[in-house]
Amino acid sequence: METLLNDIGDKSREVLAAQALIWNHTYNFINSMSLKCAIQLGIPDVIHSHSRPMALSDLVDALPVNNKEKQQNYIYRLMRILIHAAFELSPLCANCTRSKFSGSVSLSQRDSSTPFETAYGKPLFENAENEPKISHLFNEAMASDALLVISVVTESCKGVFEGMKSMVDVGGGTETVAKVIANALPEINCIVFNLPHVIEGCEGSKNLSYVGGDMLKSIPSADAILLKKCKEAIPNKKNGGKVIIIDIVILNNQKGDDKSYETQLFYDMTMMTLTSGKERSEQEWAKLFLNADFSDYSIVQNLGLRSVIVVYP
């Protein structure tokens, strides 16, 4: 593994820091909602009745949840954010048992894959496909967020794109990321690959085109793929093949950037609630790449809350 720490400049660093601060304030409600979730699951009751420290596996075994092996990962992430929020567990457990709160209903027995599906009857992306307003708002939010990050990447991390003649942006919304890359690097032929309803009506340009399809079935071939399931669509490392991922790499909490770490945990809880996905630490990313038979990766960890990860076949 190679770590590339490029200098993005003071202006970009300040803007990314401001974005991280806005996100932290926007998502701060997740602390209180996580506490509510813990109370509804009966976690304070279990810890209080145990009256001594207990292992995570013992806590999960004592909770009325289905599929305990899967739930252990969710409970770990819930407890992680509660501990980071500085909830003192001993007094918390003594004062937040379900008997002291009326109207609490356990969510643990529901069979839906996510709380979003429980509330709306369909998974997030299936719901968005049938609700144009939701789809538009989601894509606009993703585009606004992506514009800042990809502008910094094309300006300060050009080495990531060195030697490339073609690139596929998988699940890239409408055009924001690929359009910035196409304009900044006209020698690269950029393809936006997404679900047909997402790219409907989008118009390409000289080095930007749109292809509709399902990323879980197949992906157009290119020198580089931006995100997702793509090993079979790129050439080998010797011939310049690479996967480029722009995503959160959860920081080590000991490194001192407390607010960024907290905001990354907020995003992780949001992913768990909406899509059953997760944000990963570097160790978890490395394990994912190894399990997918990639040979190596390099990481640029200087984009505020997110990183550029380059993965090689």
Q: What is the pLDDT of residues 87-122, one digit of tens each?
A: 655 555 555 555 544 443 334 445 557 888 888 888
Burial of 201 (0-12, 13-18, 19+ CB in 10 A): exposed
Which residues neighbour 218 within 8 Å (Cβ) at sequence distance 6 or greater? 233
pLDDT digits (tens, 9 = 90+) for 238-269: 666 788 888 899 987 655 578 889 999 999 99
Q: Phi/psi at 270 (nearest 5 deg)?
A: -65, -45
The percentage of residues in the chain with a pLDDT greater than 90, rounded to a whole number, is 14
Other beta carbons within 10 Å of 232 = 10
Distance CA 219, CA 216 (A): 8
From 310, 225, 303, select the one nearest 264 (Cα to Cα): 303
What are 25-53's pLDDT values in tens digits?
999 999 999 988 888 888 888 888 887 78
How much is the pTM? Answer: 0.79
- Give 258 or 283, the one with higher predicted confidence: 283
Contacts of 106 (CB under 8 A, 6+ apart): 40, 41, 42, 64
